[in-house]
Amino acid sequence: MARGKTVKFLVTGIACFGLAGCIGSGPAGLAPAPDPIPVTPTPPTAKSIAAQAYFAQVQQALLSQGMLRSDGGAEIPVSDRMLAENFMRIALFDEYRRGAGGFVREETASTLRRWEIPVRIGIRFGASVPPEKQATDRARIASFAARLSQVTGHPISVDDRNPNFFIHVVSEDEREALGPVIRATLPGLGAAEVAGITQMPRTTYCLVYALADSTSGAYTRAFAVIRAEHPDLLRLSCLHEELTQGLGLPNDSPRARPSIFNDDEEFALLTDQDELLLRMLYSRELRPGMTAAEARPIVFSLARRLTGGES
């Protein structure tokens, strides 16, 4: 079962092609982001209670199989070639393509994407999320953002005043009602893409949509959804994956180990190899918009230096 997905949108001023979305001529064409609205806490609905029980069983089943590891996988050797090939597959291919009826799971070649502007994370909680869980989630997101910023060397922080990376922690009912908020934040989405969130199947634990400018290849906005019904570890796992994927590592690979970019669910949290992938992604030697052919020799050189050897 897929834990999450990242979908890229390219901003183009004239036409739509591939994963391109008709959203005006660039970041200036985006509507202002909606402010968080204070809400009165609400009790969980029957639908939400059922989802909570379901995902508790999912987490327990995975743990009983030795999955959802929270260590960094230091005992698993990663050669320079393995690291480079994993980067090429995860950073330069998309997990989904845009079809007539929305996004279809089909790996497609892409170009390198990452943020060039500071990442400002805005956290939005549904009224169903208790204050104590909000406090825990907020602290975890702030701590992980600081870690990501240190690893990448890129400014990443929580900023609810002027966010460009939105994280919505919502229940089943709240997610189904997110349509207007999604369209206000990412106005280029079609009905099928909005439904990809509001009608998200249980097999998708969480997701993030990322928007990039086609002229620069740089991300300008992202929208992540985390299920409020998730138990503790599955919830933290989603936060790690969606924040990291939204930085420019959109694909998964069955060969990537140890890594959260692998649908086998072995690792719940960012691993040692994942940190190396992020360091490569935000290296000054790479640039947004690079094709796989352009990036490949640089990627292999970076991998050799990061692992300290040839293989």
Residue 27, number of CB atoms within 10 A of its CB: 16
With H, G, I as helix, E, B as strand and everything else as coil, classify residue 167. strand
| pTM, rounded to two decimals | 0.86
pLDDT at site 98: 63
Residue 255, number of CB atoms within 10 A of its CB: 11
Q: CATH classification of 6-23+43-307, choosing from 3.30.420.10, 3.40.390.10, 1.20.120.420, 3.40.50.1000?
A: 3.40.390.10
Give Cα separations from 219 to 9, 56, 199, 222, 273 (angstroms): 9, 34, 25, 8, 23
Burial label, 132 (beta-carbon count in 10 A; 0-12, 13-18, 19+): exposed
Q: Is the pLDDT of residue 225 over 80?
A: yes
Residue 13 pLDDT class (50, 70, 90 cuts): very low
> Contact, 126 vs 228, CB < 8 A?
yes
pLDDT at site 3: 61
Task: Name the residue with higher pLDDT: 108 or 162.
Answer: 162
Q: Is the pLDDT of residue 307 over 70?
A: yes
Bridge-based pairing state of the strands 206-213 and 6-11: parallel
pLDDT digits (tens, 9 = 90+) for 235-250: 999 999 999 999 999 9
pLDDT digits (tens, 9 = 90+) for 165-199: 999 999 999 999 999 999 999 988 889 999 999 99
Q: Round the average pLDDT of the chain to a whole number and report it.
A: 87
C-alpha to C-alpha distance for 200 and 230, rounded to whole angstroms: 14
Cα distance from N-terminal residue to C-terminal residue, the chain: 33
**H-type helices in the chain, by residue range?**
46-64, 80-91, 131-152, 172-176, 179-185, 191-198, 232-245, 272-281, 292-307
pLDDT at site 108: 78
> Contact, 266 vs 63, CB < 8 A?
no
pLDDT digits (tens, 9 = 90+) for 18-74: 222 222 223 334 545 555 555 567 888 999 999 999 999 999 999 999 999 999 999
Burial label, 176 (beta-carbon count in 10 A; 0-12, 13-18, 19+): middle
Nearest to 285 by CA among 306, 259, 269, 256: 306
Q: Is the pLDDT of residue 107 over 80?
A: no
